[in-house]
Amino acid sequence: MMIKGKTASEGYAVGKAIRLEKETIRAEKQGCDSIEACLKAFREALEKSREEIKTIQKQAEDRLGSEQAEIFGAHLEMLDDPEIRKQVEAMIENDQVTAAYAYQTITDQYIQMFEQMEDEYFRGRAADIKDIQQRVLAHLLGKEVKDLSLLEEDTIVVAKDLTPSDTAGLDLDKVKGFITESGGRTSHTAIIARALGLPAIVGANGALEAIEDNQRVFLNASDNEIVVDPGKKTLERARSLVREQEKERERLKAYADRKTKTMNGKGIPLYANIGSDKELDPVLENGAEGVGLFRTEFLFMDQPAMPDEERQIQAYERVFEKLSPVIVRTLDIGGDKDLPYLEQPKEANPFLGRRAIRLTLEEESLFQTQLRALLRAARNQRDVRIMFPMVATEKELDAALEALERARRSLDEEGYEYQTNIKVGIMIEIPAAALNARRLAEKVHFFSIGTNDLIQYLFAADRMNESVAYLYQPLDTTLLRLIKHVVDEAHAEQTEVGVCGEIAGDLDAALLLAGIGVDELSMSPASILRIREALARIDSTDLERLSDAVLAEHSPQTAKEIVQAFRRKHLEG
């Protein structure tokens, strides 16, 4: 039997399945006989939950390291969110219902809000709130709180979703891979899997029904396949792939401390995409030469209220102190990403509406606070760069540069130290900006091509919509020719060009982008060493000939065949 899903962390694994099914705790609507008693029960449940989360945080720190354990710091903040607490207590008092029903009702509203967002990262936060909700309800309703521990060796964990508490309780030395029915590449499961180097498939609908405990499973996360009870030949092939995978990992470790260069010495730095300082461990372990995309909106989403200037400075400094260069994208909110504390009108087509730079230019206080925080946090760092997202016109870029200048003036007036020599760039993710690259390049130090949105807008194809997935082709030569146009126009103005979209971490696309002349690539840390090794074995002139051959074609399939033939000749011979 074969099940399909979405790869969250590439690789192969063979093991016996263990199904993690937990009863969802729900509270019935009941009246509260004593308001004081219900309020007391609520506060005691919060305190018990707080102590348990602290214990789990310590377990996670021992097993996963301090960076990954910090997710439970965010859990503690969610648990103690004053707005949620205020709303629950008000419902207990005004509606005279039990603490369990009030807490369930209020937290359900937050869970629903996050689940409705299209961005995978923010949908993943719904699972965090559910995790906390279930823990508090268990205490209020007298249910046992179970935290999973010892598992058998060579185990594949199958679950609806894995919460942070689930993962902290697992004996991760004995887990070989994860399968979940829900979640995406930025869910907690995916983040942990990549941090641990474990293969994982998410969005595997029906996995819990199709897989039984102790059934042998071949998890092929490189090809989005799950084989249940594989036959002898399939099992032999699976074990062979696992052995080759281990050999490859050992071999690639030799590249962790190297600079990325082609065989003839042309440098093409490989950077990492991150959402917070919590993701730095795999970035450093895989030898990233910097951060090519620091998504700052996650800092704003993980807070119950708008983070002030000092809070932002602390978060930025934790990244700036570890790596250089760091390219920081200013707040990219809107579309499918909302801030609960920022009032935004509902839009019929939010991806084409008030988002990213369009929003921050209107929210002057929010934008100024972030720009000031970035300038101050970078005061002692040698290479921090600020990048504006979703720029479509020169007018928008001019307004953003003026906002940055206002931030500088305000810091001068208040006597703060800040970075006076910071580089400024923009995301190229709107076709209009790509076509006007020369004019925009005159005003900035660098471009970073966000291919996820550029493909979406170029082909008018929602990347989350399976019915138009055939249009979402990273190796489409129309896209590649547009990228080549951007590179040529930017280089004419001595402006650097990087790529920070998903295709940068795809080996086929990375080879083409290097041949087109992109100056740097930014990707998931897990992709870095494989691409670094490949580039080290190829002459840059061969990469240029490869890109010329592909750009002369018109079919994505033909382009893929040309790249695969090139790989067989240069990397597999």
Active site residues: 188, 500
Task: List the one residue out of 333, 325, 319, 424 whose CA is nearest residue 371.
Answer: 424
Please spell the DSSP secondary structure of 269-297, one letter per residue. -EEEEESSGGGHHHHHHTT-SSEEEEETH
CA angle in degrees (0–180, nearest 5) for 327-328-331: 155
Pairing type for strands 175-180 and 200-202 reads parallel
- DSSP bridge pairs for 13: 219
C-alpha distances (whole Å) from 353 to each of 111, 306, 335, 346, 556 are 24, 22, 7, 10, 30
Is residue 421 within 8 Å of residue 363, measured between CB atoms? Answer: no
Is residue 188 within 8 Å of residue 124, measured between CB atoms? Answer: yes
- Say which amino acid occupies 110: Y
Is residue 122 within 8 Å of residue 336, measured between CB atoms? Answer: yes
Is residue 51 within 8 Å of residue 139, measured between CB atoms? Answer: no
DSSP label at 22? -
Is residue 160 within 8 Å of residue 182, measured between CB atoms? Answer: yes
Radius of gyration of the chain from its Cα atoms, rounded to whole angstroms: 25
User: What sections of 142-180 are H helices per DSSP?
Assistant: 164-169
- Say which amino acid occupies 186: T
- Please return the burial class of 129, using the count of CB atoms within 10 Å of its CB with bins 0-12, 13-18 and 19+: buried
Is residue 134 within 8 Å of residue 100, measured between CB atoms? Answer: no
DSSP label at 255? G
Is residue 167 within 8 Å of residue 188, measured between CB atoms? Answer: yes
Element (H, E) at 77: helix 71-79
C-alpha distance across the termini of the chain, in Å: 34
Task: List the one residue out of 187, 269, 196, 181 whose CA is nearest residue 226.
Answer: 181
Q: How many CA atoms lie within 13 A of 330 on its CB side?
A: 33
Going through 372-468 in order, the beta strands assigned E by DSSP cover 384-388, 423-428, 446-449
Number of Cβ within 10 Å of residue 559's Cβ equals: 24
